[in-house]
């Protein structure tokens, strides 16, 4: 594996209990050297270890899972090291994660399945094939590793991921990574910079969604000479852009592709046809990895500067964050800035049918531009729920407990002065089904209204 990243996917069906047993690994010395190792502990949870011999003082990085995978059911497991983080997913849900500073490098020993060089030395035993079955094993480390196809051709509704590191001071709109054959409407995906920010675009002629299917832009300046880790993921019909571990954009994405042009780095077929220029130092781009079938990265809540007011935010992005915990039923008022029920410009977050509803309206010349995003998670079940509303360049994303709960496109730009922030009450109480939030049955806490561009 020629970069620091790793992806291991497999299915496990097991009733094997007792001692910790070996699953998959690439190692030839017990407890030292450069290796990765996946085992199942005696309590049925996963243990993942990774170590780089060049980092002699650090020791192995070890993650201990939570979910029992030896209960007689089949479990899908994905272990992913990406841009200095290590993640373990079980059945599509994040099981455990941690920071990882020990990327793999050099040539590793051959893959071992069901056995381990440490068998008998540290309490580990071999996998018992009469009790445990492994299937669908797929190992991938870099964009040119054939373990998992590094090409997004034939992607229909599949999940996919494009990841790379960028460190550059070159100015202009830089070509980074793409698969496109022409600088015109066609099947392609393309990652470049525009105005110092990441600009990721997909197109699908067959889907007739021109001029583009998904267009993601970041807010971080990635041409400032500092290293930046960039990840784009398409998961369940939505595309996400992460920069340095923080999600900066999300849009609806339904593109499907037939055969795409070969993967190109540091150059682009559009050079000379538009403002795109080649990357003069290709080494500024590193750790490029294009993968299919990935599990979603968790939403990392960014540090926010809380202004408490979204008056006159215009085209700037904004975020609203809060925690709600209640057993109260009905359509509850949560947060808003509005002076009239059905009139004027406003934003409003409430519950409807147990889930969240975010609405924003900007009135221009007497006509209201409206966007609504509906959630699906029941937030009136008595449990604490962390809620993030993120307004991007042309979409609103709603997250509950770190997972996308709703997304919609929007053209609303709030350009009016709005009333003061209201919590737990709403001017529509008594005029529609909205009721005041009862503090004796719950709480709304950790509120942060962050605008603009926080």
| pLDDT, position 47 | 96
Cβ(358)–Cβ(396) below 8 Å: yes
Cα separation, 12 vs 135, in Å, equals: 7
pLDDT category at 300 given cuts 50, 70, 90 is: low
Mean pLDDT of 309-313: 82
Is the model's pLDDT at 35 over the cut of 50? yes
What pLDDT score does 61 carry?
86
Cα 185 → chain centroid:
27
Percent of the chain clearing pLDDT 90 (strictly above): 37
pLDDT at residue 299, rounded to an integer: 66
CA distance 431 to 331: 12
Percent of the chain scoring above 70 in pLDDT: 84
Phi-psi region of 144 (alpha: psi -120 to 50; beta: other; left: phi over 0): alpha
Residues near 335 by beta carbon (within 8 Å), at least 6 away in sequence: 320, 322, 348, 349, 421, 422, 423, 444, 447, 449
35, 109, 50, 46: which is closest to 84 by C-alpha? 50
Mean pLDDT of 19-31: 88
The angle subtended at Cα 119 by Cα 93 and Cα 111, nearest 5°, is 60
pLDDT digits (tens, 9 = 90+) for 161-210: 888 889 999 999 999 999 888 887 788 899 999 999 999 998 876 544 44
pTM of the entire predicted model: 0.53
- 87: confidence class by pLDDT, cuts 50, 70, 90: confident
Q: Is the pLDDT of residue 325 over 70?
A: yes
Q: Does residue 395 carry a pLDDT above 80?
A: no
| DSSP summary character for residue 29 | S
Answer yes or no: is pLDDT of 334 > 90: yes
- The C-alpha atoms of residue 44 and residue 62 are separated, in whole angstroms, by 16
Strand intervals (E) in 52-101:
61-64, 74-82, 85-90, 93-99
Whole-angstrom distance, CA of residue 286 vs CA of residue 143: 11
Q: What is the mean pLDDT of residues 222-238?
A: 87
User: Is the distance from CB of 222 to CB of 166 less than 8 angstroms?
Assistant: yes
Q: What are the backbone dihedrals phi and psi of residue 404, each rounded to the nearest 5 degrees, phi first?
A: -60, 125
pLDDT score, position 367: 67
Which whole number is the average pLDDT over 222-249?
Answer: 87
Other CB atoms within 10 A of residue 17 CB: 14
Average pLDDT over residues 244-260: 77
Return the higher-pLDDT residue of 124 and 210: 124
**Mean per-residue pLDDT for 82-94?**
78
Rounded CA-CA distance 364/347 in Å is 15
Question: For residue 411, what pLDDT is reported?
Answer: 82
Residue 293 has pLDDT above 80, yes or no: no
Q: Which residues on neighbouring strands pair with residue 36, listed in sequence order?
A: 26, 50
Average pLDDT over residues 408-414: 81
Q: What is the mean pLDDT of residues 399-416?
A: 82
Q: Which residue has the higher pLDDT, 111 or 387?
A: 387
pLDDT higher than threshold 70 for residue 361: yes
């Amino acid at each position: 594996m020629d970069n620091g990243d790793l992806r291991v996917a497999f299915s496990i069906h097991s009733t094997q209990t007792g001692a910790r047993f070996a699953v998959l690994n690439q190692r030839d010395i017990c407890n030292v050297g450069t290796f990765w190792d996946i085992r199942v502990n005696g309590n049925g949870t996963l243990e993942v270890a990774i170590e780089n011999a060049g980092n002699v003082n650090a020791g192995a990085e070890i993650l201990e899972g939570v979910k029992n995978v030896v209960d007689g059911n089949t479990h899908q497991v994905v272990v992913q090291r990406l841009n200095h983080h290590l993640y373990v997913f079980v059945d599509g849900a994040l099981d455990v994660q941690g920071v990882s500073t020990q990327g793999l490098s050099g040539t590793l020993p051959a893959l071992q399945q069901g056995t381990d060089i440490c068998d008998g030395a540290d309490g580990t035993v071999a996998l018992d094939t009469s009790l445990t079955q492994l299937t669908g094993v797929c190992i991938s480390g870099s964009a040119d590793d054939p373990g998992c196809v590094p090409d997004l051709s034939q992607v229909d509704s599949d999940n996919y991921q494009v990841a790379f590191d960028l460190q550059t001071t070159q100015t202009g709109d830089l070509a980074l990574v793409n698969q496109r054959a022409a600088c015109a409407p066609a099947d392609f995906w393309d990652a470049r910079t525009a105005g110092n920010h990441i600009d990721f675009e997909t197109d699908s002629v067959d889907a007739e969604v021109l001029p583009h299917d998904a267009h993601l832009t970041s807010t971080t300046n990635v041409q400032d000479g500092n290293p930046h880790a960039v990840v784009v993921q398409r998961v369940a019909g939505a595309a996400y852009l992460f920069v340095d571990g923080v999600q900066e954009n999300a849009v609806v994405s339904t593109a499907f592709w037939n055969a795409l042009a070969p993967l190109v780095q540091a150059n682009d077929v559009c050079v000379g046809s538009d403002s795109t220029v080649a990357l003069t130092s290709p080494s500024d781009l590193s750790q490029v990895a294009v993968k299919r079938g990935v599990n979603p990265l968790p939403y990392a809540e960014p540090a926010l500067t809380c202004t408490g007011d979204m008056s006159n935010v215009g085209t700037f992005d904004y975020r609203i964050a809060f925690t709600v915990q209640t057993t109260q039923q009905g359509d509850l008022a949560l947060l808003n800035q509005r002076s009239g029920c059905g009139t004027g410009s406003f934003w409003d977050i409430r519950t409807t049918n147990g889930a969240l509803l975010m609405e924003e309206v900007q009135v221009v010349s007497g006509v209201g531009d409206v966007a609504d995003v509906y959630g699906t998670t029941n937030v009136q079940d008595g449990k604490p729920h962390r809620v993030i509303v993120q307004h991007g360049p042309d979409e609103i994303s709603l997250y509950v407990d770190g997972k996308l709960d709703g997304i919609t496109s929007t053209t609303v730009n709030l350009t009016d002065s709005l009333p003061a922030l209201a919590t737990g009450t709403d001017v529509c109480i008594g005029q529609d089904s909205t009721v005041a939030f009862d503090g004796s049955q719950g709480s709304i806490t950790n509120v942060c209204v962050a605008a603009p561009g926080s």
